[in-house]
Amino acid sequence: MAGTEWYRKAVFYEVFVRSFQDSNGDGKGDLPGLISRLDYLNDGNPETQDDLGVDALWLMPVFASPSYHGYDVVDYERINPDYGTLEDFERLCEEAHRRGMRIIIDFVINHSGVQHPWFVESASSPSSPKRDWYVWGPRDPGWKQPWDMFSTAPTWHQKNGAYYYGVFWGGMPDLNMRTPALREEVKRLASLWLARGVDGFRLDAARYLIETGGGAGQYDTAETHAFWKELAAHVRQVKPDAVLVGENWSTTPIIATYYGDTGGVPGGDELPLNFNFPLSEQILAGLNADNAAFIAAKLVEMGGVYPAGISDAPILTNHDMVRVATQLGGNGGRKANAAALLLTLPGTPFLYYGEEVGMTNGTTSNDEAKRTPMPWDGTPKGGFTTGTPWFGFSPGHASGSSVAAQTDVAESLLSRYRKLIHVRQASEVLSRGGLQVLSATTGRAPSLAFVRLLGDEQVLVVHNVTDSSVSVGPYNLPGSKAEVLFEDRGVGTLTRASNGWQATLPGRATGIWRLQP
């Protein structure tokens, strides 16, 4: 597999700072609180295995914003006062780097907040010098939100006798990246945060950057791709090892286009990582149906569509999705499957905070329920705060779905994530290798089997996605001996018969073996 960039071997962890750890008792998580929990994420000692072992953190928005979520930025240079100071942020980067972790931050440049001084000035007059920093028109052309054909939400909003475009809602006006001065300002801001210690950016709503009209003109335009190439080139020039991660929630063939041209730049000249939402959907569907064919089919499709040499970014869920534990009905076996799948697939896996302890959704129907406070222990305040949590804990934190309850339990979900992450990092094949699917892609498949490949090395991975014991194989693969990298309890010895490798796996179990000559 081409490329040696650090992100190709990394396991990322998505953090919502407001919900991770409060340091001052105001009920809101903050940067000093996050710093105090870094050893849980990675203690900096590769010999220990009682930390989670992740390599990098993605911070949801930390810029100044009037909202709890931070996606309506009002100052791209200032840290949200709820979270601390710029000095706190720089200390976070230093402490993370000291432990061998990288930091990327949400860079929300599809839109700003309506209270941003840029927009206030832009809206003040048609002759404002920043008028063309946003998208204005004399009337509402009636465009609909492009991700929902049944949407009745307006995308053009009236202000001072004209209309501005805001595809998400009126409080987040879209920036106009056709404007050269704005493009230069965005590049200046990227340089600023790279200088402050970040190692890259997650790019929100990356498909919807530059519009050419309603309908299909609102997404995946040639102008959008051209801008991402321009920004990527700038970031590589400023900090060659920085990474960009695109949120392009679409089909597999569309996502593949956002890597750009892979001929001249390893991993592509556009966005070197793109979240794999279709794979997430098929993992969850396959686990809920006890059928690995769903997952195998998607992996085969990706192999035929994604450019050679790129790095995938698999996820289970993120802050916009109902949490994986809830989608899997709280089923312990399926949660164990999900962890093993995510951490044995190719690419750069992203965990959502709390996923490792089986954190469920909250009890409300709003987005806050997907972003509830981290359950460090089973006490009423969860070890998260000494005050009143900004939002209630999700169900289960007092009865086992907490870090304290699972830390010293060998068979806990947290212990499973820790072990699988360390197994992945100890194997170049698992962390950087390619993939060959061995399972059926149609009908019913009780197990998902694939080989991870790097040079002459081969690692066989098999997941039983049912509750019943299954015999797997024979797999006609080279080798005469099998080194165990990971086996769940009860997994039978992988043996070599005349027609190939075979083993028996109990329900929901995983086996990972390095095939040796």
| Per-residue confidence band for 134, with pLDDT thresholds at 50, 70 and 90 | very high
- Give residue-wise pLDDT tens across range 246-304: 999 999 999 999 999 988 787 899 999 999 999 999 999 999 999 999 999 999 999 99
Q: Which of 211, 247, 355, 356 is catalytic?
A: 247
Helix H or strand E encompassing 326: helix 324-327
Residue 233 CB burial class (10 angstroms; 0-12, 13-18, ≥19): middle
User: What is the DSSP track for 68-103?
Assistant: SS--S-SEEEEE-TTT--HHHHHHHHHHHHHTT-EE
pLDDT tens-place string over residues 191-237: 999 999 999 999 999 999 999 999 999 999 999 999 999 999 999 99
Active site (annotated) includes residue 247: yes
Q: 498 vs 11, which has greater pLDDT?
A: 11
Is 386 within 8 Å of 26 (Cβ atoms)? no
pLDDT of residue 328: 98
Q: Which residue has the higher pLDDT, 47 or 63?
A: 63
pLDDT computed for residue 1 by the predictor: 29
Cα–Cα distance measured from residue 402 to residue 408, given in angstroms and rounded to the nearest whole number? 12
pLDDT digits (tens, 9 = 90+) for 467-483: 999 999 999 999 999 99
Q: What is the pLDDT of residue 44?
A: 96
Check residue 314 and give its pLDDT: 98
Residues 397-414 have pLDDT tens digits of 998 999 999 999 999 999
Question: Is there a contact between 106 and 58 (Cβ–Cβ < 8 Å)?
Answer: yes
Long-range contacts of 382-388 (CB under 8 A, 24+ apart): 384/19, 384/20, 384/21, 384/22, 384/29, 385/22, 385/25, 385/26, 385/27, 385/28, 385/29, 386/22, 386/25, 387/22, 387/25, 387/26, 387/27, 388/27
Let me know the angle formed at the C-alpha of 423 by 252 and 51, rounded to the nearest 5 degrees: 105
Least confident of 129-143, 173-187, 255-269: 255-269
Q: Which one of the listed residues 204, 269, 270, 356 is annotated catalytic?
A: 204
In angstroms, rounded to a whole number, what is the distance separating the alpha carbons of residues 136 and 165?
6
Mean pLDDT over each residue of the chain, to the nearest integer: 96
- What pLDDT does 264 receive? 74
What pLDDT score does 151 carry?
82
Mean pLDDT value across residues 382-408: 96
Is the pLDDT at 102 greater than 90, yes or no? Answer: yes
| Rg of the Cα atoms in the chain | 23
φ, ψ at 326 (rounded to 5°): -70, -45
Predicted confidence (pLDDT) at residue 2 exceeds the cutoff of 50: no
Going by pLDDT thresholds of 50, 70 and 90, the confidence category of residue 4 is: low
Which letter does DSSP use for residue 173 in this model? P
CA 158 to chain centre: 35
Each residue's pLDDT tens digit, 335-376: 999 999 999 999 999 999 999 999 999 999 999 999 999 999
pLDDT in tens, 316-332: 999 999 999 999 999 99
Q: How far apart are CA 155 and CA 146, in angstroms?
A: 10
Cβ proximity of 280 and 299 under 8 Å: no
Note whether 142 and 283 are within 8 A (CB): no
Residue 320 corresponds to which amino acid?
D
